[in-house]
Amino acid sequence: MMVAIIDYDAGNIKSVEKAVTLLGREAVLTRNREEILLADHVILPGVGAFGDAMEKLHGYGLVSVIHEAVDKRIPFLGICLGLQLMFESSEEAPGVEGLGLLPGKIVRIPDAEGLKIPHIGWNSLTFPNPGRLFQGIAEGAYVYFVHSYYLQADDPQIVKAATEYGTTIHASVERDNLFACQFHPEKSSETGLKILENFLRI
């Protein structure tokens, strides 16, 4: 079973590759259309800025490939910046269109006294709706976040995990073959590996 990890020069790709390999799956870092479309699962990871990332995806011709993979119903997982890119727009890059795979926007975490931005650290999850990624995971489980912007999904039904950090953050979404996590499952210890394993079983 081959897992295509989309390589568009974003940070944190290697740790995703390591986690997938640890779970006994073949991981391929790629921007090759055929490899992506032949994969059993596709992961869009990333750490960085929304505008730069969309520019790279366009530059490597990956935007149309991603849409093809999604249309083929290949299970597709966005992680951190990858989640944000799956939506329509981000306050981080006004005027830049995201991939538009799901309806919603990315906004900055609001300033609040005693709240550090970026949000870096472990936060517990609540599960507003049942999600396939979280089977076998107890509500209140902790996962690792690194971000300054967060998702406001238009459709509350797609939100499968949330956390609180000055506001309610939509931490994970799912619709059909689309999955995304604002947190880093590959850096979230046994809980994170279980989430990735659940994805790879779909």
pTM: 0.98
Q: Which CATH superfamily is domain 2-200 in?
A: Class I glutamine amidotransferase (GATase) domain (3.40.50.880)
* Strand partners of residue 152: 105
Where are the extended beta strands (E) located within the chain?
2-6, 26-30, 41-44, 76-79, 89-90, 104-108, 119-124, 142-147, 149-153, 159-164, 168-175, 178-181
| Residue-level pLDDT at 10 | 85
User: Alpha carbon 126 to chain centroid distance?
Assistant: 17
CA–CA dist 143, 145 (Å, integer): 7
| Pair type for strands 104-108 and 26-30 | unpaired
First to last CA, the chain: 12
Burial of 100 per CB tally in 10 Å (0-12, 13-18, 19+): middle
Q: What is the pLDDT of residues 6-25, one digit of tens each?
A: 999 987 789 999 999 999 99
Domain layout of the chain by residue ranges? 2-200
| Residue-level pLDDT at 12 | 76
C-alpha dihedral, 53 to 55 to 57 to 61, nearest 10°: -170
Residues labelled as active-site residues:
80, 184, 186
Kindly give the confidence (pLDDT) of every residue in the chain, 202 residues in length, as a single tens digit, with 9 standing for 90 and above: 899 999 999 877 899 999 999 999 999 999 999 999 999 999 999 999 999 999 999 999 999 999 999 999 999 999 999 999 999 999 999 999 999 999 999 999 999 888 999 999 999 999 999 999 999 999 999 999 999 999 999 999 999 999 999 999 999 999 999 999 999 999 999 999 999 999 999 9
